[in-house]
Amino acid sequence: MKNSKKNINFMLISAIASVIVVLLHIDSQYPNGLGIQRAAFDYVWFSVYVYTSSTFLVAATLILILSCKKIHDLYHSGMIKNMIQRETFLNIKKNYLFKTWQSSFFLYPTFLIFTYIICFVVFLDKGVGINLTTTGPMYNSFLILLRACMTTILYSVIVFNITLIVSKRMKNFALTTILSFIIILIYAAISQLVFYKTFTIFFSEQFAKGFDLINGLIFGFGSTTAIFIHGLFLVIITTLILNKIYKEPNEVVLNYENQN
């Protein structure tokens, strides 16, 4: 029930944020409604997606991190010691991890879907697709939306996993939040400065962009194949680390007792 309430709150936050973002974009690009009748909704939405959602992305990352507080508090409260007497530790892990991952569907993807719907309703010209370059092919905006939702779900799972990994050693959740966010920023910088530049040596620039965390996994600039390889790789690695450090119930209980 509590997890459902959290997901509903995520959807409400996304809905409110999407309305605000689209209205701000309209106000800045079409003052007094000038030119709004001639604007194609797909280009307007793509502009919102690329340029104005970055601010919400930072907020969304922090919200995703903060949403892990329940598990953090559960672990550091010692309640797991009592829970493993009633059910297996494996079932406890699966239950809480699944509920946490489930929340990845309700924040940033919902924000993208709401902005898409609002732009579709407000802008009467439905457009014929999005041309990202003067000589490039036309892209269906709905397919871009679908890919964006899928990649941001992967990103959300990665954020959850990193936060839960950090939570193992950090009793103070404020420090957990700060450290988790710093780790994500550091990886984003490494992926842009190292991975992207390295992959351009061996592959096309389009493929290399997929290994840039922000431009690839978040904003969808780059090869779809590369973006999903990168995202799935991070999900698998962080999940394996998560499973490793929370593997033994006795060690988990002992770690709690040592901290107290």
Q: Which one is predicted more confidently, 102 or 114? A: 114
Domain ranges for the chain: 2-259
Confidence of residue 253 (pLDDT cuts 50, 70, 90): low
Over range 159-175, report the average pLDDT. Answer: 86
What pLDDT does 130 receive? 65
Q: Which one is predicted more confidently, 31 or 202? A: 202
What pLDDT does 20 receive? 87
Best-predicted range by mean pLDDT (22-36, 126-140, 164-178): 164-178
Q: Give me the amino acid identity at 37.
A: Q
The per-residue pLDDT for range 197-231, each reduced to its tens digit, is: 899 889 888 888 888 888 787 777 788 888 999 99
CA–CA dist 182, 17 (Å, integer): 24
Q: Which one is predicted more confidently, 96 or 160? A: 160
What pLDDT does 240 receive? 92
Confidence of residue 2 (pLDDT cuts 50, 70, 90): low
* Whether the predicted pLDDT of 52 surpasses 80: no
What pLDDT does 50 receive? 77
